[in-house]
Amino acid sequence: MSVNEVKILVSDKLSQDGVKILQDTPGFTVDVKVGLSPEELQKIIPEYDGLIIRSATTANQQLLEAATNLKVIGRAGIGVDNVDVPTASAKGVVVMNTPEGNIVTTAEHAISMMMALSRQIPQATASVKEGKWEKKKFMGVEMFNKTLGIIGIGRIGSIVVRRAHALEMKVIAFDPFISHEAAEKLGVELVSLEDLYKRADFISIHTPLTDETRNLLNSTTLAKLKKGVRIVNCARGGIINEADLAEAIKSGHVAGAALDVFEQEPPAKDNPLIGLENVIFTPHLGASTTEAQENVAVAVAEQFVDFFVNGITRNAVNMPSIPAEQVAVVRPYMALGEKMGSFIAQVAEGAPKEIKIKFMGDLTQVDARPVTQAIIKGILEHYVGATVNLVNAPFLAESRSIAVSSTSSSVKRNFASLLGLTLVSEKGAINIEGAIFLDGEPRLVRLEDIPIEAVLEGTLILAANNDRPGVIGAIGACLGTHNVNIAAFHLGRQVSGGKAMAIVNVDSVPDSAVIAELSKIENILDVKLAKL
């Protein structure tokens, strides 16, 4: 596309610094139209090549279907919940965000909420405005020398660590996916969740909302907390069970909470936390500072210039950068790499320390960096959540001190191209290999030196076992008893009577009780579950 033909629509309020960058770019026509109704936006969107939004505009399927010329959507912020990413991907529309623009602001908001909570500043302010002078009522607590427990020490959590150290707090953290070396650099003691619950005077949450973190703090876990703990959540609603938290506060076990996010936003009027005096709230203001708004505006504008003028895609959540002539070769291996990464992350134990990738055969003749990105994305999504994308995955690995290396060999071993992957953790290493078959299907072809051909799709049960009669039948009988249907059963072994591997594709996700029962079968050594 010629730069002279680019039309960009800014449909949400954007800092003038970002708008000016776009307006000053030769060939760009920029229209700022804020407050359009969905119908109005849908009517004019066919005119535009680029759309910049914040949280007010929803780029849903209807809008994307009408956007016949749209090439890119830029979200001035980190979240893309208001963008139908699958539809955008299917239509070839790149979706970008600005993940670095508001991390300091969010971290500072968490510290501010902690301070306000410890000294009851909002409540005291309201009291004075009512003409009262209740000095004895609003007795606070110091943060100095208190233990802060941080759940998740990624980009935002690590900034909170540094701010807490400046306040002379003792900082402990739970993050199973960061190495001890990285934690030591931050000056943080890594602990288990159970230990954090017992020791923390304050808890600050900085983890994404995933299946594993949903309702992380509930009636059971809240009961394990140190009596008098104060809880801050500026991450995502749904990580704390709000009804259970209300009960813990009413009982006096939890001294108070400061929440910037809710499971339902805005919260319902009958939310049990709303009426509690020792809970303070803000309306999802973590990223709401002048500086943050300027940062994300400038970032998204610069990304648009790079995209349209320089052909560079940065911070895309739905596509990598691949030379056009290599797309047909690289794309299938990106899909394979991401599935292999997801699989190995789910069956590994311990915090990842190193990712080793080996490209073999014809893969050495193309730029395989997008495959590396896809592998890292697949691995880190299990640990970090859905915010990982093909662009930020290498930086997230680096921030967690996870070393990434790759080697190449032109030697072809049974396959035209072969992809090898080793994940090294504090508890050991796991090696796998994968290939693309003639039908285009990504398959696992080797697991820990055992040749095995398995389809990397759906729900998989991995069972390591001694090669003895009856094991396969026992696995099938157990799954049948629990009404778990087997879609495919893949077997591999080193030598007769030695160690063997079974990978079972099933049609439904077995619960933990089924996995535990499988583990008790005679000659079964270990059982893992992976969902791809």
Contact of 231 with 217, CB cutoff 8 Å: yes
Residues of each domain in the chain carrying CATH 3.40.50.720:
3-101+291-310, 103-281
Residues of each domain in the chain carrying CATH 3.30.1330.90:
327-455
**Average pLDDT estimate for 31-60:** 95
pLDDT in tens, 349-388: 888 999 999 999 888 888 888 899 899 999 999 888 766 7
| pLDDT of 438 higher than 90 | no
Which residue did the predictor score with more confidence, 179 or 43?
A: 43
For the stretch 35-55, what's the b/e string if a residue is b when 16 or more beta carbons lie within 10 angstroms of its beta carbon? ebeeeebbeebeebbbbbbbe
- The H or E element containing residue 527 is strand 524-531
Residue 322's pLDDT is 61
Query: Pick the catalytic residue: 54, 230, 284, 443?
Result: 284
Contact of 506 with 487, CB cutoff 8 Å: yes
**Average pLDDT estimate for 212-235:** 95
Contact of 370 with 320, CB cutoff 8 Å: yes
Share of the chain above pLDDT 70, in %: 97
C-alpha distances out from residue 339 to 336, 380, 432, 519, Å:
5, 12, 12, 25
Measure the CA–CA gap between 69 and 71, rounded to whole angstroms. Answer: 6
| pLDDT of 139 higher than 50 | yes
Residues of each domain in the chain carrying CATH 3.30.70.260:
458-532
Measure the CA–CA gap between 351 and 60, rounded to whole angstroms. Answer: 37
Residue 248's pLDDT is 97
| pLDDT of 45 higher than 90 | yes
DSSP state letters, 350-412:
S-EEEEEEEEEEGGGGS--HHHHHHHHHHHHHHHH-TT--TTTHHHHHHHTT-EEEEEEE---
Question: Does domain 458-532 sit in CATH 3.30.70.260?
Answer: yes
Residue 350's pLDDT is 87
Contact of 76 with 18, CB cutoff 8 Å: yes
pLDDT in tens, 69-92: 999 999 998 778 789 988 888 777
Average pLDDT for the chain: 90
Give the side-chain half-sphere CA count within 13 A for 149.
20
Measure the CA–CA gap between 112 and 105, rounded to whole angstroms. Answer: 10
Give the side-chain half-sphere CA count within 13 A for 506.
25
**CB-count burial class (<10 Å; 0-12, 13-18, 19+) for 63:** buried
Contact of 189 with 172, CB cutoff 8 Å: yes
**Which among 85-89, 387-391, 521-525 has the top mean pLDDT?**
521-525
Query: Pick the catalytic residue: 163, 206, 236, 382?
Result: 236
Assigned CATH class of 103-281: alpha beta
Give the side-chain half-sphere CA count within 13 A for 420.
21
- How many other β-carbons are positioned within 10 Å of the β-carbon of residue 366? 20
Residue 1's pLDDT is 46
Q: Which CATH number fits domain 3-101+291-310: 1.20.1250.20, 3.30.70.2190, 3.40.50.300, 3.40.50.720?
A: 3.40.50.720
Give the side-chain half-sphere CA count within 13 A for 62.
9
The torsion defined by the Cα of 307, 313, 315 and 317, in degrees rounded to 10, comes to 110
Lowest mean pLDDT among 231-240, 358-367, 421-430, 467-476: 358-367
Q: How confident is the model at residue 437 (pLDDT cuts 50, 70, 90)?
A: confident
Which CATH architecture is the domain 327-455 placed in?
2-Layer Sandwich (3.30)
- How many other β-carbons are positioned within 10 Å of the β-carbon of residue 483? 10
Instruction: Mark whether 265 is an active-site residue.
Output: yes
The pair of three-digit structure tokens given for residue 423, joined into one six-digit string: 């994940």
Which residue did the predictor score with more confidence, 288 or 346?
A: 346
Share of the chain above pLDDT 90, in %: 68
